[in-house]
Amino acid sequence: MAKSKGKLPAPAPREQSEEFNDFLKASDIGGEGTTAALEFTGNVRGPEDSEFGERIIAEVKYNRKTYDFSIKTNNANYRLLHDRFGADPGKWRGKVGVVIKHFRANDYIAVTRNQ
C-alpha cells in the first residue's frame, strides 16, 4: 500500500443520478439582508419526516449550481410557495426571490412576498 504522506485519498467521482444534490444553506447565498433569486426546477420530493417536522425537498438552481432546498410544511416559505405555484409539485417551476434573515443566532433563507 502506497503511503499517503498524511493526506486522504480523493473520493470516487460521484454520479448525479445516484445521489442527491447538496442542500442549499444561507451561507451559500450570503449574509443577513442578501437577496437572490432561486430557480425552481419542478423536481420535488416528499413530504417526509425529519427531526424538525414534516418537509418537502425542492430542487433549485442558484449561481449555475443545482441544490436541494428543504422547506418545512408548517412555515411561511411553504405557504408562499404553495400560493405561488399551487398544490402540484411538478408545477413548481420558475424564479423566486429570497432574502437571508437572522433569528436566534442562525441565518436562514426566506422566500420574499413580492414576486
Grid cell digits, residue 69: 432546498
Residue 53: which pLDDT band, with cuts at 50, 70 and 90? Answer: confident
Contacts of 73 by beta carbon, 8 Å cutoff, 6+ apart: 47, 53, 54, 55, 56
d(CA 6, CA 27): 30
Is 18 strand, coil or helix? Answer: coil
Residue 4: which pLDDT band, with cuts at 50, 70 and 90? Answer: low
What residue segments make up the domains of the chain, in order of their start? 26-111
Residue-level pLDDT at 19 = 77
**Position 9 pLDDT exceeds 60:** yes
Residue-level pLDDT at 100 = 97
